[in-house]
């Protein structure tokens, strides 16, 4: 689906370098790493939001549909939830179905400012799904939510991923619980400049625990 050959991502200094990896349909990747290491920068590069990245750094993106759930909801504040989702080309019927899926059936005509943080994030997720993405990128989708809301949203995303097995996902997170719930592959970004120190396929919560123990070994080594 995607081939990453990213030599360098730099602002005033090089943040990330030497990323070589491929992403296949059905990959559910959690991208972990210390704060400020470059996870969002890498996700942005994958999304095509780093304009100076040379052609050939991310191969295959032009052949897939991609949606990005940003940390902020990025809904247009002067449009209703329905209008925001219709902007990506969804019919009213699709909007209603997706809003029901994310538990916002009663909020189609609300403005984003009338929603709580968690509700706005679910509305943004519905907009992502309206794109029918082959690859769903998410940047800390559970950040700033209380444990109950985060758990609900995690469960919702897990169910949505299960409903279309060939869809791929890359989710930036700090929380190993997200990896346990959502991932079948873990990436760990670390170093200065940062690179993928770790790229492991996983399968099941026990294995996540074992891998995270090994990962702690890598981090502490």
Ligand X SMILES: Nc1ncnc2c1ncn2[C@@H]1O[C@H](COP(=O)(O)OP(=O)(O)OP(=O)(O)O)[C@@H](O)[C@H]1O
Report the C-alpha gap between 75 and 125 in whole angstroms. 11
Nearer to ligand X, 15 or 168 (CB): 15
Site for ligand X contains 14 (CB under 6 A): no
Token couple for 20:
């070589």
Map tokens 């780093």 to a residue.
50
Token couple for 101:
């899926």
Among 27, 30, 39, 141, binds ligand X (CB under 6 A): 39
Site for ligand X contains 11 (CB under 6 A): yes
Among 3, 17, 21, 40, binds ligand X (CB under 6 A): 40
Site for ligand X contains 133 (CB under 6 A): no
Q: Given the rule CB under 6 A, which of 30-38, 126-134, 197-205, 209-217 is the region that contacts ligand X?
A: 30-38
Site for ligand X contains 173 (CB under 6 A): no
Report the C-alpha gap between 218 and 178 in whole angstroms. 20
Nearest approach in angstroms of CB 207 to ligand X is: 24
Nearer to ligand X, 36 or 204 (CB): 36
CA atoms within 13 A on the CB side of 157: 31
| Sign of CA pseudo-dihedral 163, 165, 170, 172 | positive
Nearer to ligand X, 52 or 93 (CB): 52
Whether residue 154 contacts residue 182, with contact meaning beta carbons closer than 8 Å, is answered with yes
Which residues are at the interface with ligand X (CB under 6 A)? 11, 15, 33, 35-41
């Amino acid at each position: 689906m995607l081939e990453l050959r990213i030599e360098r991502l730099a602002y005033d200094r090089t943040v990330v370098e030497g990323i070589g990896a491929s992403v296949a349909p059905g990959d559910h990747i959690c991208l972990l790493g210390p704060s400020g290491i470059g996870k969002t920068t890498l996700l942005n590069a994958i999304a095509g939001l780093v304009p100076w990245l040379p052609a050939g750094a991310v191969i295959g993106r032009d052949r897939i549909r991609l949606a990005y759930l940003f940390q902020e909801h990025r809904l247009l504040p002067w449009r209703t939830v329905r209008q925001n989702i219709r902007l990506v080309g969804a019919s009213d019927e699709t909007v209603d179905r997706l809003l029901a899926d994310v538990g916002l059936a009663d909020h189609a005509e609300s403005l984003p400012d009338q929603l709580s943080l968690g509700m706005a994030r679910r509305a943004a997720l519905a907009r992502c799904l309206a794109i029918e993405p082959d690859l769903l990128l998410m940047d800390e989708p559970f950040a700033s939510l209380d444990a109950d809301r985060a758990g609900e949203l995690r469960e919702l995303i897990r169910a949505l991923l299960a409903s279309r097995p060939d869809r791929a996902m890359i989710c930036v997170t700090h929380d190993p619980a997200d990896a346990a719930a959502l991932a079948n592959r873990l990436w760990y970004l670390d170093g200065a400049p940062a690179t993928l120190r770790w790229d492991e396929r996983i399968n099941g919560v026990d294995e996540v625990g074992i891998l995270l123990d090994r990962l702690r070994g890598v981090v502490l080594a």
